[in-house]
Chains A and B, each alone.
Chain A
């Protein structure tokens, strides 16, 4: 919005002018204010920002040190930058296979939980069959069913026999996501015009084809939000894969990191590299889509 040299006082002045153009009445009040308050505001903002960044800085800093430098100078700034930790960690932790395991599982989860929820939300919000109100109530109430680790393990182990496999994890993730997705989708489907349904049906479009070809493109924003929420929460989930997918063949990035960390002693320079490698994909995605991510996650929390 504003460019040029960043000086706090000049910045302040320009800011006042910019805002006064928009709302002329505020000009008087803003100009009266002492700049000390604004300087304090900036100081606080930067202080909190420093606190937020410090752990990341410390991780990167320590991950660039060789083991000798790490032993002699653990806390100071890195003197001799080395990337050997990263290359070591990359192979030792099987980053590539962990990454693909996570991507595939998260993708399956997102698609399944969305498709199932979509075909549940549509008839429920349109009253396509009798007692759909009761079904809707049941699905919404299921958000408050007490989750039970004991029972989940028993069902997966003794009834279904898939405990420990990726299928168990996907099933747990999908079933966890459905009620919220249905809830959010119902709200959105209600805003779609009913005439659209009727017009397509008259044209001979089947129900499933109608939902996929006509409704889904109209629901892009909510679908993107829901997929994003589910993808981020399952990507970052640790307990789920740790409990339900304990097959050593399959590990997500987060459980892979956990086992990697528990294998070795206290080689924190390597650990730091490992942590940063695991964090990196999310950081990169976040840098590009931060606005959508923040809004999506917040809206999910407020409505859900």
Chain B
């Protein structure tokens, strides 16, 4: 029924009331007919698109512009006293708050350095393990992925208990080895502890991406290479790793951008104390609690955006060069 009526129409059998009069002319023109679907009036489609566009403009485009505007003013929560101050906020970034904010940038870089690479090593390692023909492959995969569905609050508080210096299990082990440490409360290793938490919580996600990459690698390569006498490490270096490049690019991109924006884990574990204040957390803290300097905060946001996009652009360039080499 459905199909036949369509065919009838294409053959030019008139059908009263089915289509708008304007389209009657075009009905016999098969080529134009097939090129575009004429039955949808543009304005109907536009009406459907508008709500999504409004949301994107209102909470995507306008915030970006408002942020730029505010960064040139002394906005402090009251619109009445708002004044244009030129580049003062951008200068004050270095003179007034440089002591707080520059270490925050440095902490972010340190955090990214100690997290991103171990994350990939762990993820590739566990992906290779799970990719073996082992029993319970799905169980292990699901278990390693599990923290990703638990949420930051649960993960961070669970690890706060593990790292607790009175009730946690780790402190006993460390004491037995003669080490006295406060874990998250120790400025020397607190960032490392945060890194351990995010490693535990996130590597399963990257493992899944690598697993998808691994299943895409044809077995023929391994067969051919092992006929040539390659084994183990050589197979990994010359076949697995190069062919995982696309997955590696995705994972590195995700890991770096996540590491540079780290906020909630810091808030939930150390609250920015003990030398763990990342730039994401710094912005959060100043926006929430120093709301009389919103202009300055907006300038910091701009600097942070420049910082992140520089790193991501460098990353893009670096990876693209690598992929050309391949």
What 0/1 readout, one digit per residue, does chain B (204-225) give for beta carbons within 8 Å of chain A?
Answer: 1100110010000001000100
Q: Which residues of A contact B250 (CB under 8 A)?
A: 301-302
Q: Are B208 and A201 interface neighbours, CB within 8 A? A: no
Q: Are A52 and B146 interface neighbours, CB within 8 A? A: yes
A2 at the interface (CB under 8 A from B): yes
Q: Are B134 and A175 interface neighbours, CB within 8 A? A: no
Q: Are A124 and B49 interface neighbours, CB within 8 A? A: yes
Q: Are A151 and B205 interface neighbours, CB within 8 A? A: no
Q: Out of B45, B67, B212, B268, which one reaches A238, CB within 8 Å?
A: B268
Q: Out of B59, B129, B138, B212, which one reaches A298, CB within 8 Å?
A: B212
B324 at the interface (CB under 8 A from A): no
Q: Are B48 and A203 interface neighbours, CB within 8 A? A: no
Q: Out of A116, A123, A158, which one reaches B40, CB within 8 Å?
A: A123
- Alpha-carbon distance A178/B53, docked complex (angstroms): 9
> With contacts A151-B298, A301-B250 known, is A178 near B153, CB below 8 A?
no
Q: Are B140 and A145 interface neighbours, CB within 8 A? A: no
Chain B facing A: main interface SS: helix
Query: Inter-chain contact count A-B, CB under 8 Å?
Result: 293
B 59-81 contacts with A by CB, 8 A: 59-67, 70, 75, 79
A81 at the interface (CB under 8 A from B): no
Number of chain B residues close to chain A: CB under 8 A? 99
A36 at the interface (CB under 8 A from B): no
Q: Are B6 and A199 interface neighbours, CB within 8 A? A: yes
A108 at the interface (CB under 8 A from B): no
A263 at the interface (CB under 8 A from B): no
Number of chain A residues close to chain B: CB under 8 A? 109
- Alpha-carbon distance A58/B159, docked complex (angstroms): 10
Q: Are B67 and A148 interface neighbours, CB within 8 A? A: yes
> With contacts A128-B37, A171-B59, A268-B167 known, is A123 near B49, CB below 8 A?
yes
26 A-B Cβ contacts within 8 A? A29-B226, A49-B140, A52-B147, A74-B167, A124-B49, A129-B43, A138-B53, A146-B305, A146-B309, A150-B70, A155-B58, A155-B59, A182-B52, A197-B37, A198-B37, A199-B2, A201-B19, A202-B9, A203-B18, A237-B151, A254-B152, A266-B167, A278-B151, A283-B150, A291-B142, A297-B148
Q: Which residues of A line the B interface, CB within 8 A?
A: 2, 6, 11, 15, 19, 23, 25-26, 29, 38, 41-42, 44-45, 48-49, 51-56, 58-59, 62, 70, 74-75, 116-117, 119-120, 122-124, 126-130, 132, 135, 138-139, 142, 145-155, 158, 171-172, 174-176, 178-179, 182, 194-195, 197-199, 201-204, 206-208, 211, 232, 235-239, 242-243, 254, 257-258, 261, 266, 268, 271-272, 275, 278-279, 282-283, 285-286, 290-291, 293-294, 297-298, 301-302
Q: For the complex of A and B, list the 8 residue pairs with the smallest distance between their C-beta atoms, beginning with the closest.
A: A201-B39, A236-B151, A119-B48, A123-B45, A151-B63, A175-B59, A129-B42, A128-B45
**10 more CB-based (< 8 A) A-B contacts, given A41-B129, A294-B142:** A145-B63, A146-B301, A150-B297, A174-B55, A176-B59, A178-B55, A179-B60, A201-B40, A206-B44, A294-B208
